[in-house]
Structure 1
């Protein structure tokens, strides 16, 4: 909860225990300052109402006909406390999400690009003859400076209702996300501390969005990586283009109500599209390194890693298998059902790390993993993070402390989960792409929740 969201119930509590004339206006004053300085959100409506009701009751009691008995005052205080607890619950259980500050030595800049692939049409667009368009967000090591931090999500007035609908909640449910900011600063100059920085491509999950792993993107950028996250149009929760056009999620990307073979075929077609998206981004980065003003000359395209979550983890496997520009891969709860059969049979040969949650892996997916694992190059490893679920790899658990009870995370503390994911991600890419000595396992002994399952 924000400052005045805390002060309002505290002043109401003061009124309940110490009702004096001088403190009558305090809750209303706190509410007014909250609305001016912090802004309205629906979770505060019960507190707004209780504040107004308390003010009316207090004004009406300025000249009471006769003093209340101690018993009546006691009951009034008790009932007031119970109502206050109920009123505080919504903003406490659904706070403004906080993205943790990155720990690296670099400030973090961010920029967004709109790309059109003139060599591909989009089979998932309303008109399949349309060219494939994607939005891309980039986080990078930046020169330290001042400015307004970037929001967690751009076009939040469109994106938040789409996410609410995706998780089967009322469209207004996530309106408060408009107040959530990051630790990244738009269009800041790239750091001059290094001539070039290694590049990481991130692929989000099905129904996800490019900023779904902002905690991880910022952490990697703060340690000297340029992280590029395309949004897979029509398979993301929603995509908004700079001219205001909206590309809605297309349910036919992974259709319901079809046979398992039909579903698997649709999934393979989808992953082919995502793989092409990632390769197109890599192609575009070559031109950006020559032309894009912010990043010009800063992209080390000889040191490229790919990472992804869920369907994006499957895309990571597939693109690394077919594109030698990928030098390292990190899959987080990688969904392997859509990966092409020939890739399962031969596997990518680059260094690979697979992080799996404890609760998500399904027998079919893990059977495919074992086939794939046996064909992959070395080093390759699989680690299970105990006490985690599928969405623990994303920012989404920050939506509520109730996340473990509504399927958004496992029982392990969210901050601890992100610390583990960041540590493993950095150790792996630092070892492979930066050549840091000691191997990626070095320094991970402090995370007993990460259980090494198999590797070589």
Structure 2
């Protein structure tokens, strides 16, 4: 919960519980219900109202109206109190019960907050529409060029204290209902995502003194979105990387373009495998990931253009000779596909890589770059493991494979931060969200520091006492 959301029920609890400690409520405490109204109004203006708080809003107003006559009568002298006994005790317990219930809902569905970046730089961010006129869209009902939304995080100077932080998902009003539907919740359930802030600042000046910086491209999974691992993007940028994350139309849950048009997920692009032979399903999946691999390549083309353009804020700050690609699930498969076919990729990292869409040529020939393959304990399934083992026979043996014990498929994303109920909703494994996020930040940074910056990475040498949950398979 946000600060004023916590402060409001504490004020009400102090007022309501005072009869337990004294026979008289001082005038300074008698004004607390009025003060609670002021806090509520301030919360609405500063933090923003959300539906989970409606019971607490109503309770606050009712307490104010209920206590106002007594306060006006006793003003200046304090209010005489009677210890709660009998029916008054029942009413007292019921009132505190209502306060507890009113507070529980926003506590169980808080406005998400990701871990703050740990590096020496502030983090700037901007988004941009990319249009590849050389390729046609495969999954739209229209004959149109392939469009991609790209968000970039970069090392920056710390801005003035009053500079507002960027929203975590600026398109949440359109995208949040689609995410809610996908995970089986009512469409309105995640509307509060529109209030979530990131730790980045929009369009602040980049830090130029230590550039150019290595470049990373992140590819989300099927039904994912470009902000799905913001905690990783921001942490990497704060340590001296320029990170581009892509929203891939018709594979993402929903992409919102600057003109307000949208591209929802197209189930036909990666249908359920039920009723399809292995060959039929994997042919469909490979068509999708071949498109996504092309999206990564086009993104690198655009980043190279930005780097060469003196009018761009990132002019001469991108080291296009040090490019890493990483991705989750289907995006992990796209990472392997791209790195197996484009020499611009100098390092790759995957989280629960979905291997069925990877092309036969890459499966049979492997990839030559340094790679780190991270899997959750609970997600891998037999066909995926078979394909990965076949592929791994053709990669450098120094490439590490790690399983995170207690983790599930969405533990690689920000999604577990949506609610303490995430395990019950099937959105994460038993490992605590803060623990797995810390582990992922450390291993991801260690790998790219090793592969692209040439720094030692003892964390990758083998099992660590710091993270016993990271089981080294190879």
Q: Distance in 1 between matches of 2:318 and 2:32?
A: 59
Q: Distance in 2 between matches of 1:73 and 1:8?
A: 24
Name structure 2 gaps, 5 residues minimum.
20-24, 74-78
Give the direction of change, closer, same or farther, for the CA distance of 1:223–1:72 in structure 2 (3 Å limit): same
The correspondence of residues 31-46 of structure 1 with structure 2, limited to 5 A, is 31-46=40-55
Aligned counterpart, 2:395: 376
State whether residues 349 and 378 of structure 1, in contact with CA within 8 Å, keep that contact through their aligned partners in structure 2.
no
Aligned counterpart, 1:361: 380
Query: Does 1:11 pair with 2:27?
Result: no
1:70-123 alpha-carbon deviations (Å, 9 max, x no partner): 212211111112222211111000111112111111111111111111110001
Match of 1:29 among 35, 38, 44: 38
Match of 2:108 among 76, 84, 93: 93
Q: Distance in 2 between matches of 1:23 and 1:192?
A: 51
Give the direction of change, closer, same or farther, for the CA distance of 1:84–1:365 in structure 2 (3 Å limit): same
Aligned counterpart, 2:344: 325
* Higher mean displacement: 175-184 or 389-398: 175-184
Query: Does 1:202 pair with 2:218?
Result: yes
SS of the residue corresponding to residue 25 of structure 1 reads helix
The correspondence of residues 32-431 of structure 1 with structure 2, limited to 5 A, is 32-59=41-68, 70-127=85-142, 129-146=143-160, 147-256=163-272, 258-261=275-278, 262-291=280-309, 293-431=312-450
Runs of 4+ in 1 over 4 A off after TM superposition: 59-64, 66-69, 442-445
SS of the residue corresponding to residue 181 of structure 1 reads coil
Q: Distance in 1 between matches of 2:254 and 2:435?
A: 30
State whether residues 431 and 440 of structure 1, in contact with CA within 8 Å, keep that contact through their aligned partners in structure 2.
no
Q: Distance in 2 between matches of 1:15 and 1:27?
A: 10
Aligned counterpart, 2:451: 432
TM-score (norm 1): 0.94
State whether residues 84 and 92 of structure 2, in contact with CA within 8 Å, keep that contact through their aligned partners in structure 1.
no
Aligned counterpart, 1:449: 469
Q: Distance in 1 between matches of 2:190 and 2:290?
A: 32
State whether residues 323 and 345 of structure 2, in contact with CA within 8 Å, keep that contact through their aligned partners in structure 1.
yes
TM-score (norm 2): 0.91
Aligned counterpart, 2:22: none
1:221-274 alpha-carbon deviations (Å, 9 max, x no partner): 111111111211111011111122211211211124542433322211111111
Shift of 1:440: 5.5
Q: How many residues align?
A: 452
SS of the residue corresponding to residue 367 of structure 1 reads helix
Shift of 1:344: 1.2
Q: Distance in 2 between matches of 1:203 and 1:379?
A: 24
Q: Distance in 1 between matches of 2:441 and 2:389?
A: 25
* Higher mean displacement: 257-266 or 407-416: 257-266
